[in-house]
């Protein structure tokens, strides 16, 4: 049985970890290298590092910070933000990233997914999808959630799979930062319509929300930020509860 993964997310702006609500009202959450080191020690399964202002500011991900974070940890590490070419990915992988996450660039140039999968392998290509409900329909948003599109979440997920992505990171903008639980109905539908691993993002507020997204949403992994950054949920405690709920997770023994 494949274990479910717990993934802290470090949203980076101006070299600091930040967290907001519904993609706005950002507040400082600490030094990314220190947080990454802490999470690796606490048995996080992976980390996601998103340079959230890279696309909006039309610059590249902070490759030097990627190098520093990767040097400090020994768990898989996904990097996203401002990635739009094979060259961008090559630099990040060389600097220590295990996977890359693409979002806006993939929507604007879907063939980028094919190119990256062919060049580096599907296993290291994560397509992030930010979506919110508009008139009852899940619509994809770009540039850190600031630019709405008419693209349907589920149709885009299917295309992403066909083009060679290895994983999907789905963030519900409606749930992001609210601590009211994940978008489990949408996650469960994604699980039935595509065969890729799905990372649930947006809405974690307590341990039961993680239980629900694995049991009801059928997520393969759950990503969260503020509940970890501000000490509201300890990863060892979370994994202990998931294990008691018969949800398979990796628990290292000393």
Contact 201, 190 (CB under 8 A): no
Instruction: Please count the other Cβ atoms lying within 10 Å of the Cβ belonging to residue 87.
Output: 10
Catalytic member of 45, 51, 88, 130: 130
Concatenating the DSSP letter of every residue in 11-69 gives EEETTEEEEEETTEEEEEEE-HHHHHHHHHHTT-S-EEEEETTTTTTT----HHHHHHH
Catalytic member of 11, 176, 212, 220: 11
Select from 45, 34, 103, 41 the least CA-distant residue to 69.
34
Which residue's entry shows tokens 């930010």?
130
Q: CB-based contacts of 174: which residues, under 8 Å, 6+ apart?
A: 22, 132, 133, 183, 202
Q: Is 11 a catalytic residue?
A: yes
Catalytic positions are 11, 130
């Amino acid at each position: 049985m494949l274990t479910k993964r717990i993934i802290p997310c470090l949203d980076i702006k101006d070299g600091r970890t930040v967290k907001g609500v519904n993609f706005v009202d950002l507040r400082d959450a600490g030094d990314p290298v220190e947080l990454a080191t802490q999470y690796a020690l606490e048995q996080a399964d992976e980390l996601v590092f998103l340079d959230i202002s890279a696309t909006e500011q039309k610059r590249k991900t902070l490759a030097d910070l990627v190098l520093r974070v990767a040097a400090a940890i020994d768990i898989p590490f996904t990097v996203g933000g401002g990635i739009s070419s094979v060259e961008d990915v090559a630099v990040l992988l060389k600097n220590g990233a295990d996977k890359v996450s693409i979002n806006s660039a993939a929507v604007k140039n879907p063939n980028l997914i094919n190119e990256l999968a062919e060049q580096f392998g599907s296993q290291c290509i994560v397509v992030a999808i930010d979506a919110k409900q508009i008139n009852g329909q899940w619509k994809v948003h770009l540039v850190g959630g600031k630019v709405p599109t008419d693209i349907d979440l589920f149709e885009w997920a299917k295309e992403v799979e066909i083009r060679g992505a290895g994983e999907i990171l789905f963030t519900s903008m409606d749930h992001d930062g609210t601590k009211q639980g994940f978008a489990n109905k949408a996650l469960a539908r994604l699980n039935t319509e595509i065969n890729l691993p799905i990372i649930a993002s947006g809405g974690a507020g307590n341990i039961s929300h993680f239980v629900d997204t694995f049991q009801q949403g059928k997520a393969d992994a759950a990503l969260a930020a503020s509940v970890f950054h501000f000490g509201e949920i300890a990863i060892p405690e979370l994994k202990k509860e998931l294990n008691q709920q018969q949800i398979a997770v990796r628990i290292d023994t000393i």
